[in-house]
Amino acid sequence: MNDILNITQGPIFDNSISKFEYHCYSPFLQSFNPSDEIRIPIQQQDLCILPSESYIYVEGSLTKADGTVSAGKLTNNAMAFLFEEIQYELNGVNIDNNKNVGITSTLKNYISLNANESKSLENGSWTGGSSFSLASGTFNFCIKLKYLLGFAEDYKKIITNARHELILIRTRSNENAYFSKDNEELKLSIFKLQWRVPHITLSDSNKLTLLKQIQSNPIQIHFRNWEMYEYPTLPTTTDHVWTVKTSSQLEKPRYIIIALQTNRKNQRNKDASIFDHCDVSNVKVHLNSESYPREDLNVKYKLDRYAILYEMYSKFQQSYYQQQSNPLLSRQEFKDIAPILVIDCSHQNESIKTGPVDVKIELKTLTSIPASTTMYCLILHDRIIEYNQLTGEVNKLI
């Protein structure tokens, strides 16, 4: 209440940053063909940059083989499906990477976005499950880095005195990125690709503060890494056990996202961003001797009995971001578009924190799993990088 009585208080202006402007960085080799490795470096080291607000700008076209305009459409999240892997290097050290970029970012967006964020991401080829028409046959998109890498999503501070490099590896095939009429093969080409990064210029007083920080202790860059695992073809059974990984050095799993997909990989007439429930009845994630969730789920999709799965999905934002959940998908959309299994294992016993950890998934279905079904497991875990701004040394602590 004292604030309403302080009638002499003047306006407060934030002058800590004197300039905020985007700079464009292009790869040395202007080749964006399938399987190409695209490296975009920032060599100048006396910069303050903000990677969390950077984005990738892409221009290209979708045409018939003869170059004429086609009736084809882009799939949801098409630009992410053009890249097999994305890596971020700091002073030559790989600090974060994302494999199977299309599937990983699609799963992460389904559980993380709300309706308003989904609309704004249309500028990055995200349509939330529908297709993207191209009247002219050409496209251009801006893909925010924070929707492709956990480092860019979580670490929202500037980085100074460092060499940065973004590495993109193109997929061998573009077929997950478009629909074609009558299953016709189309030509998807990229003309231009840039990394646009904010450069920050500080006020004089803040420069002095920053210099003192650089001369003191190293900084710790903490974020949550997105680690994708794939079981290419599940056996046609009703019970399946998958030992996903065994880690000798604990990278504590906080969330495990499981999804199934039947015959959608590299299919020109099917959307690779849509997932299938495959009549799943129960799932357990075992971290050594601990199981999540503790109780059986007893799901029956044919009877529309999947409320517990939707509850687990809708609570993710509250647990992960510490904010009120506003899920992107309605209950029916969850069943039709992305029946994702979201396992929250962020609260663990002390015994799990030391020694190797076996991550094992036990899956049960009411009917046999269809042929050509792929199972995806996205593990979200902590990662800590120590960066000495004075010497440029980068070390992975976790």
Question: In whole angstroms, what is the distance from residue 229 CA to residue 130 CA?
Answer: 26
Question: In whole angstroms, what is the distance from residue 283 CA to residue 301 CA?
Answer: 14
Hey, where are the domains in the chain?
Answer: 18-221, 223-384
Tokens of 344: 């929250």
Question: Do 223-384 and 18-221 have the same topology in CATH?
Answer: yes
Tokens of 216: 């003191």
Question: In whole angstroms, what is the distance from residue 120 CA to residue 245 CA?
Answer: 36
| Class of residue 362 by CB neighbours under 10 A (exposed 0-12, middle 13-18, buried 19+) | middle
Q: Residue 294 gets which letter from DSSP?
A: S
Tokens of 56: 């990738």
End-to-end CA distance of the chain: 46
> pLDDT digit of tens for each residue in the chain (398 aa)?
567 778 787 777 778 888 899 999 999 888 999 999 999 999 988 899 999 999 999 999 998 888 788 777 899 999 999 999 999 999 999 999 999 999 999 999 999 999 999 999 999 999 877 777 887 889 999 999 999 999 999 999 999 999 999 999 999 999 899 988 777 888 999 999 999 999 999 888 788 888 887 777 899 999 999 999 999 999 999 999 999 988 755 577 899 999 999 988 877 778 889 999 999 999 999 998 889 998 999 999 999 999 999 999 999 999 999 999 999 999 999 999 999 999 999 887 765 556 788 899 999 999 999 999 999 999 999 999 999 988 889 998 87
Please give the CATH number for the structural domain made up of 223-384: 2.70.9.10
Q: Would you say 220 and 389 are in contact if contact means Cβ atoms under 8 Å apart?
A: no
Please give the CATH number for the structural domain made up of 18-221: 2.70.9.10
pLDDT of residue 70: 79
Residue type, 273: S
Q: Which residues pair with 141 in a beta bridge?
A: 58
> Beta strands of 204-356 (E only): which ranges?
219-231, 239-247, 253-262, 280-287, 290-292, 341-344
Q: Would you say 278 and 231 are in contact if contact means Cβ atoms under 8 Å apart?
A: no
* Residues whose CB is less than 8 angstroms from the CB of residue 172 and which lie 6 or more positions away in sequence, other chains included: 34, 35, 84
Q: Would you say 164 and 389 are in contact if contact means Cβ atoms under 8 Å apart?
A: no
pLDDT of residue 13: 76
Question: In whole angstroms, what is the distance from residue 35 CA to residue 397 CA?
Answer: 32
Question: In whole angstroms, what is the distance from residue 32 CA to residue 45 CA?
Answer: 27
Comparing CA positions, the residue from 77, 344, 103, 345 lying closest to residue 229 is: 103
Tokens of 12: 């407060």
